[in-house]
Amino acid sequence: MGKYEWLLFFHVTGAFLFLGGVVVAWVLGIAAARRERPSEIAYLLGLTAPAAGAIGLGMGLTLVFGIWLVIDLDFYEITDGWILAALVLWAIAGPLGGVGGKRDKDTRLLAERLAAEGDVPSEELRARVRDPIALAFNLASSLIGFAILVLMIWKPGAP
């Protein structure tokens, strides 16, 4: 394989890690919201840590190797509209997901504490695991991530 193929391989691998991590985090978060016992909620939210790692690694790989591809290829420029749009969306998606993820981590920590204190269902935990603010941040970040995928495939305005 040549340089282009390696760059593309790592770029696409990053995209799969990012989007796969997003899907796994959503599945586990929805499953946690359907539980009552703090130990079950803590367990499910704890499983999102590898998904969050995949999201972060995927974002890094996609960004680094995507920019490298643009620099390496003669028919794309970093100033192309679809590339600039993707970079701006990337810069927005990361912090949004970070805020949602922080709120979810705080919910997991509460669930762990309540599990250690008797594992009795709690209205506070029930409300936190269904936090509309965390949901809004996570949903916005996820939708922006998928919009970036659409830009990368469609490449509006590209030759």
pLDDT tens string 103-117: 999 999 999 999 999
83 near 70, Cβ under 8 Å? yes
Burial category of 62 from C-beta neighbours within 10 Å (exposed 0-12, middle 13-18, buried 19 and up): buried
d(CA 32, CA 29): 5
Give residue-wise pLDDT tens across range 69-95: 999 998 899 999 999 999 999 999 999
Q: Please, which pLDDT band fits residue 99 given cuts at 50, 70 and 90?
A: very high
- pLDDT score at 53: 96
Q: Where are the domains of the chain?
A: 3-154
Q: Does the global pTM surpass 0.75?
A: yes
Integer angstrom CA distances of residue 25 from 36, 68, 101, 104: 19, 28, 10, 10
Q: Looking at the predicted structure, is the pLDDT value of residue 158 above 90?
A: no
Q: Which CATH number fits domain 3-154: 1.20.120, 1.10.3470, 1.10.1760, 2.30.30?
A: 1.20.120
